[in-house]
Amino acid sequence: MELSGCAPPIALASFACTRSQDLKRPHFCRFAGAKIVFSSIWPNFLIVFRPTNSIFYGFSLLLHTKMTNSICKTKGIVLSTVPYNDRARFVHIYTEQLGKVSCKITLSRLHRNGGQRPFYAPLSMLELVLEGRAGQDLWQIKEASLLCSPYTVSMLDPGKTAQCLYMAELLDRTIREVEANPRLWRFVSQSIELLQLTQQGSANFHLLFTTRLCYLIGFHVDNSAWHEGMLFDISEGIYTAGPIYHPYYLTADSACWLHQLLDTRFSDLGSLHLNRQQRNVLLDMMLTFLRIHLPEVGTLRSVEVLKELFD
C-alpha cells in the first residue's frame, strides 16, 4: 500500500492496534516502506516518516472516531421561537433533564404538528425526544407531543395571554443553565399550572412569579427587615431608613407594597389589593433590579402591553 498525503482509515486502525500504552519512549514499526512512530507523549497521534522523500506525515487517531449522538426523553417548556429563514425556526426550550436548549425546527414539522400556534406557543409544555451531542447547544427534535398549553385557556383572557408572554420572555432572558435544575423546573412548571387555575388576584400573578424567580436564581430580599416608613434600595436589594443618594429606590409607600407582595403566597393572591399604577411601579422596580445584576435581561417587549391591562 502506498502512503501519500494521507493514510486510509483502515491503515490508521492497523497502526493503532500495535500501539502500547505503557511505552516510555516512542514505539517504531514499519508499514509499506514507511516508519510509523507511536508516542506515549501524544497517545492519540502518530507520525509517519518516509525515508524515500524525507517527509513527515501526522495523523490523529481520533479523526475517524464516530461521534455518536445521545437520545434524551424529557419534558420541555417553550420559551421563544426565533425565525432562522423562510423554512426554519429556532425554538428555545427549558427542559427538565437538560436545562435550556435550542432546537431547529422546519415549517414542515410545524405543519405536521398541526401548524397550530399552541404547540410551540410561549409556555407550552411538551413531551420531547431530543437527539444531540454532549457539549453542543443545538438539539434536534425527533418526537414532540403537546402536554398542555396555557394559550388554549388564556386565549379567552387577554390578561393571562399577556402574562404568559411576559413570563416566557423573562425566563428566556434569565435562564442560562444547560443542566438540570429540579427546583427551578418544579417552580416554572407549577407556575404555569397555577396561572391557568388562578381566578382571584390573577392580575398580580406575574409580580409574584417575578419575585419567586429572582429568589431561585440567587437574588434574595430579606423581607423581615421591613419596618413602616423604610425605603427600598433597588441596587442593593435591601430595606433601609435612608437616605439614598441614587435614583434606584422605592419610596416608603412603594416599599410597603413590595413588603406585602413578598409576604404573599400564590394561594393568597386574592387578598393582595394593588391597582394598575402600584403594579406598574413594582414591575418596573423588579425589572430594574434584575437589569442591574443581569444586564442581559435588557428591555422586555411584553412589558408595555402588560402595563395597559388590569384595572
Beta-strand relationship, 138-148 and 238-240: unpaired
Summarised one tens digit per residue, pLDDT across range 100-133 is: 999 988 876 555 555 555 688 899 999 999 998 7
32-47 mean pLDDT: 48
| Confidence at residue 40, expressed as pLDDT on a 0 to 100 scale | 44
Angstrom distance (rounded) from CA 264 to CA 270: 10
For residue 295, which amino acid is it?
A: P
User: Cβ contacts of residue 290 below 8 Å, gap of 6+?
Assistant: 174, 214, 219, 297
Give the residue extent of every domain in the chain: 9-60, 70-174, 198-307
Mean of pLDDT values over 53-81? 68
E strands, the chain, in order: 27-31, 34-38, 45-50, 55-60, 70-83, 88-95, 99-106, 125-132, 138-148, 231-233, 238-240, 249-250
Are the CB atoms for 89 and 102 separated by under 8 Å?
no
- Domain 70-174 fold is OB fold (Dihydrolipoamide Acetyltransferase, E2P) (2.40.50)
